[in-house]
Amino acid sequence: MRPVRVTAPAKLNLTLHVVGRRPDGYHLLDSLVAFADIADVVEARPAERLSLEVTGPFAEAIEGENLVLSAARLLGGGRGAAIRLEKNLPVASGIGGGSSDAAAALLALSQLWGIAIPPDLPARLGADVPVCLVRRPMWLAGIGEKLEPAPALPECGVVLANPLVPLATPSVFKARRGPFSTPERFSEPPADAAALAALIRSRRNDLTEAAIALVPAIAEILAALEGALVARMSGSGATCFGLYADAEFARRAAAAIARPGWWVAAGRLVTPPPAAVAA
């Protein structure tokens, strides 16, 4: 059988409202999630035993056991495959890299092995894995386990920028101060990139202030993205995004804001999920 390749797109929290806290300490969220075509890549080949090779600019950040191997073991039940992860996205960066990699591994291996993904398996791997498996714009609630379809989003250019400082999600939530927010969803599909940006500008990422207190360079990146239609931090940081009218505007903006020591990438928001393809 030919190898199967699946992209693992960057997950963006276009909005992120912290709306409460459970008795066990986990925070409750309401977030609009979308995906960019800036991505890692997972490739799975037939093999007798399970193995993982990691390549790409951030390969050295992946050590030992990780979500890709965990996904393969949970799905495969002893089946073998040679998996290669091309790690293009920075780790611990607020764009769901590990979760998206795990979801891509599930998609690739389910096709390679000819088996279905059990409905409860993605959530066992992590709160973000279910939405990364869906790979469409979604409203995310609870601690990430409650998903509802969001309105269709227009295609638009996007720039991602990160100061290459890992930022642990628990640390950001611990540093957060202030009252809880309320959900602020919308139901009508925005007509274009400018309309989407206006909706995002009227909403928030409630973790931004806490993340900047831990990594001040986030404020520098947001300032560098001021020429975008809207600029926000994604998730718990440290990656920030800027939305642009189209991919060409995004490409030019990425070139203009590049700084030594920053990771900057340009692409576009995507609505349809990329399919698994034979390599």
Q: Is 128 a catalytic residue?
A: yes
Residue from 30, 40, 128, 206 carrying the catalytic annotation: 128
Q: What percentage of the chain reaches a pLDDT higher than 70? A: 96
pLDDT for 278 equals 47
Six token digits for residue 107: 């998609």
Closest by CA position to 19, among listed 207, 203, 144, 180: 180
* Adjacent-strand bridge partners of 159: 242, 266
Average pLDDT over residues 75-95: 96
Domain range spanning residue 232?
4-278
Reading the block at residue 185, the tokens are 């969803």
**Residue holding tokens 């642990």?**
168
- Highest mean pLDDT pick, 22-26, 114-118, 142-146: 114-118
The span from the CA of 135 to the CA of 122, in Å, is 13
> Which is higher by pLDDT, 271 or 175?
175
Active-site entry in 11, 30, 40, 101:
11
- The per-residue pLDDT for 78 is 94
Residue 146 appears among annotated catalytic residues: no
pLDDT number for residue 276: 53
User: Using CA atoms in the order 87, 9, 48, 55, what is the torsion angle rounded to 10 degrees?
Assistant: -10
Residue 128 has pLDDT above 80, yes or no: yes
Q: What is the mean pLDDT of residues 141-159?
A: 95
Poorest-pLDDT segment among 30-44, 60-74, 87-101, 246-260: 60-74
Is the confidence at residue 272, as pLDDT, over 90? no
pLDDT value for 63: 75
Q: What pLDDT sits at residue 62? A: 85
- Specify the number of domains making up the chain: 1
Over the chain, what is the mean pLDDT? 94
The CATH number that applies at residue 75 is 3.30.230.10
Integer Cα distance of 224 and 256 in angstroms: 9
> What are the start-end ranges of the E strands in the chain?
4-21, 27-46, 50-55, 81-86, 138-142, 146-149, 157-162, 230-233, 240-244, 263-270, 277-278
- What percent of the chain has pLDDT above 90? 91
pLDDT digits (tens, 9 = 90+) for 174-225: 999 999 999 999 999 999 999 999 999 999 999 999 999 999 999 999 999 9
Name the pTM for this structure: 0.94
Confidence class for position 274, pLDDT limits 50, 70, 90: low
Q: What is the pLDDT of residues 4-58, one digit of tens each?
A: 999 999 999 999 999 999 999 999 999 999 999 999 999 999 999 999 999 999 9
User: Measuring CA to CA, how many Å separate 223 from each of 37, 218, 226, 259, 265?
Assistant: 24, 9, 5, 13, 16
Q: Is the dihedral of CA 128, 134, 136, 140 positive or negative?
A: negative
